[in-house]
Structure 1
Amino acid sequence: MKKFAVIGFPLTHSLSPDIHNHAFMQRGIPARYQKIEIVPEQFEKIIRQLKGEEYGGFNITIPFKNRVISWLDDVDSDVAAIEAANTIVVENGRWKGYNTDIAGFVAPLQALDRQVKNCLILGAGGAARAVIYALGNYLKVDELTVAARRKTQAEQLIERLHSHCPATRLKSAALDGKESDLTEFDLVVNTTPLGTYPNITQTPLPSLKRLKNNAVVYDLVYNPDQTCLLADALKTGKDIRVISGGEMLIRQADAAFQLWTGQSMPYESVRTHLKKILEKAR
């Protein structure tokens, strides 16, 4: 039986084992997936041990997506660009790093019948890095504004990624909690943790009254499935499409699953399973 695991700290609320073990069972694949929680001070020691064990692959989450790169034997072009790996494939003892957050983010957008040219990204942390790269390098949007509480953080992130998004105009802005004019944006993406359970009344934007008609609002938060931000978007009465973080969570897991097994996850079955787990946790 092949072994897989997620590595990070903390992992108390990680849903990766639930998602992957369900998918393995549904596909009849003899494999198991577990959590390997590593305190940051022990990271190098434990990784060295794991390199000597028999695993088929790993997922990497906070705070090790960058730190793990020095332990990889090879990386794909996406990892090289954004300096973050969330998936490892082990073949003949060699570890190769991938970033399936990019594919996971893009997939729900490609399924929509909306044209995305001008985007607003809320937040400038690690999640924003993958989103900006995906929009600029894969979807090749015309313009992208990164808004953060500390505008300098947004400026620094843009400086790091602008060479990987040559066809996209990158701008920075302050995320100051005031009502914003959103009429120019086809897509608004929340990459901050605001609105995550149990703080479900929090939102990165106090008002969506000035949201563009036909816009897409995408929240990377997956618990709850409909955040305050998404609920506010739907209440505008405009022709708005919303995408929940659960969509990205499953799609990025599916991309990793395919790298490991050559098969896709049973999407609807996994989606139903995830929804039940989140409902029980509340």
Structure 2
Amino acid sequence: MKQIYGVIGDPISHSMSPDMHNDAFTDQELEAYYNAFHVRPDHLEDAVKGMKAIGVKGFNITVPHKTAIIPFLDQVDELAAAIGAVNTVKYENGQFIGYNTDGLGFVAGLKEELHESLIEKRTLIIGAGGAARGIYYSLVSEGIREIDIANRTVSRAQQIIIENPYEAKSNSLTIQAAAERLNEYDLIINTTSIGMKPNVDEMPISLQHLRNDAFVSDIIYNPLETKFLSEAKKKGASIQNGLPMFIHQGALAFRIWTGVEPNIERMKAIVLKKLGG
């Protein structure tokens, strides 16, 4: 009998995770199947209990359940607890254990592209939601010490900084203030949904003061090149979309569940095909 894995969210029909993980199970010759489960917020606790009852071996969590699921888990690892969000759950010794691979997936994708130390990179994160928190804590845990956060509501950015359990030198800024100081940053990361389909003409921040030697990253991967990235490229900056983050967070989850390293390039090809790219 195949082991059951999956992803829960609301909505969930758009998820590309089943395509990516089922191909990885086949490629690694594992008797397992990954399914998308539509779970509404008012059914979350019952869904978690049901998944444990039927022996689900692991699952991912997407919007809007990443924080809400924590009280229904038996354990949460240190990084996920610090972030305050879980995107991966593993069944082990009768318990559901929560992890967060989003930020670590972003860092893995970034390292793959940069091929150099991140520690000296002065960094700006745009946005202060769950993705920003995960990326901020993961970057700080990797040794980056100068990371600022810009957000429309500055207090939300400040809260992430205050609650950070690691050593870092950070400032919270308005979007306008960050735009005026953009030439100070080596690495600029958009963690908001601004520029995602169908609002493809929107940008999270002005790039007027962007340096041509900066590296600009956007966690959006649909479209594969947002206006934010397109404009950064025109100014000479190096760019990266959200596809590496999505693939690497999935690969990390796969490893947590199975102890097996999946084929990253194969996972990338599956997602690109699904996107029509």
Question: SS of the residue aligned with 1:36?
Answer: strand
Superposition pairs for residues 206-221 of structure 1, below 5 Å? 206=206, 208-221=207-220
Matching of residue 132 in structure 1 with residue 136 in structure 2: yes
Alpha-carbon deviation of 1:258?
0.7
Taking the TM superposition and a 5 Å limit, the aligned residue runs for 1:44-63 are 44-63=45-64
CA distance in 2, matches of 1:177, 1:102: 25
- Between the aligned partners of 1:132 and 1:88, the Cα distance in structure 2 is 21
User: Who is 2:40 aligned against?
Assistant: 39
User: 1:74: how far off?
Assistant: 1.9
Amino acid at match of 1:203: M
- Give percent identity, aligned residues only: 39
Which runs of 5 or more residues in structure 2 are unaligned?
none
Structure 1 residues 223-232 or 175-184, which shifts more? 175-184
**For 2:156, which of 150, 153, 170 is the aligned residue?**
153
1:1-282 to 2 correspondences below 5 Å: 1-111=2-112, 112-116=114-118, 117-138=121-142, 140-161=143-164, 164-166=165-167, 168-176=168-176, 179-206=179-206, 208-237=207-236, 240-279=237-276
Q: What is the alpha-carbon distance in structure 1 between the residues aligned to residue 264 and residue 110 of structure 2?
A: 16
Report deviation, 1:276: 1.4
- State the alpha-carbon separation in 2 of the partners of residues 200 and 77 from structure 1: 36
Against the structure 1 CA distance between its residues 16 and 262, is the aligned structure 2 distance closer, same or farther, given a 3 Å change threshold? same
Partners of 1:93 and 1:210 in 2: CA distance: 54
CA displacement 1:230-262 (0-9 Å, x = unmatched): 11111113xx32221010000000000011122
Q: Aligned residue pairs: how many?
A: 273
Task: Assess, with a 3 A threshold, how the Cα gap between structure 1 residues 178 and 92 changes in structure 2: closer, same or farther.
Answer: closer
Work out the CA distance in 2 between the residues paired with 1:37 and 1:84: 19
- Flag structure 1 segments of 5+ consecutive residues without an equivalent: none
Cα separation, partners in 2 of 1:143 and 1:2, compared to 1, 3 Å = same
Distance in 2 (alpha carbons) for counterparts of 1:103 and 1:143: 18
Q: TM-score, normalised by structure 2?
A: 0.92
**Which piece of structure 1 moves more, 171-180 or 241-250?**
171-180
Q: CA deviation at 1:33?
A: 0.6
CA contact (8 A) 1:177 1:205 kept: no
Partner amino acid, structure 1, of 2:100: N
TM-score (normalizing by structure 1): 0.91
User: Quick one: which amino acid aligns to residue 27 of structure 1?
Assistant: Q
1:153 is matched by which residue type in structure 2? R
Distance verdict in 2 for CA 1:244–1:264, change over 3 Å: same
